[in-house]
Amino acid sequence: MAGIGGNIFAGDESVEREQMFTGYYRLAQLQGKVTEEAKAQAKEALSAYADADSVSEYAREAMGWGLASGMLKGMNGRLNPHGKADRAQFCALTERYCGL
pLDDT in tens, 23-49: 999 999 999 999 888 888 988 999 999
DSSP 52: G
Total domains present in the chain: 1
d(CA 100, CA 27): 12
44 part of a folded domain: yes
38 part of a folded domain: yes
pLDDT in tens, 43-90: 899 999 999 999 999 999 999 999 998 889 888 889 999 999 999 999
Q: What is the pTM of this model?
A: 0.85
66 part of a folded domain: yes
8 part of a folded domain: no
